[in-house]
């Protein structure tokens, strides 16, 4: 058996609040100490990250984070935009 290791940094933590537009896989995260006004076109909602899964693809050499929002039981790969 081969040993595999990886080093990755997840952009979100459990408990972080994100803004997600309806039907989109893109979320906006604004760190709590940097709250600003955010303008989103179309319907959007604030969610809380309740769990994070990490999948390590050894052959492809990539790492994918999937997020559960508001204890939904569903995990989705999300494109995270962090506003500084």
- CA angle, residues 72, 74, 75, in degrees to nearest 5: 125
Q: How far is residue 29's CA from residue 35's CA, in Å, rounded to a whole number?
A: 10
Residues 41-52 as b/e (b if ≥16 CB within 10 A, e otherwise) read eeebeebebeee
Residue at token pair 């459990």: 14
In the chain, where the domains are located:
17-82
DSSP-assigned letter for residue 47: E
Q: How far is residue 24's CA from residue 27's CA, in Å, rounded to a whole number?
A: 8
Q: What is the pLDDT along the chain (84 residues), one digit of tens a residue?
A: 778 887 889 999 999 999 998 888 999 897 877 666 666 677 889 999 999 999 999 889 899 999 999 999 999 999 999 876
């Amino acid at each position: 058996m081969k040993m595999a290791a990886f080093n990755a940094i997840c952009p979100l933590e459990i408990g972080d609040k994100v803004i997600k537009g309806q039907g989109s896989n893109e979320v906006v995260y604004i760190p709590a100490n940097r709250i600003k006004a955010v303008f989103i076109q179309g319907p959007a909602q604030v969610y809380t990250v309740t769990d994070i899964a990490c999948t390590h693809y050894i052959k492809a050499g990539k790492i994918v984070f999937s997020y559960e929002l508001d204890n939904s039981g569903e995990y989705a790969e999300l494109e995270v935009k962090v506003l500084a």
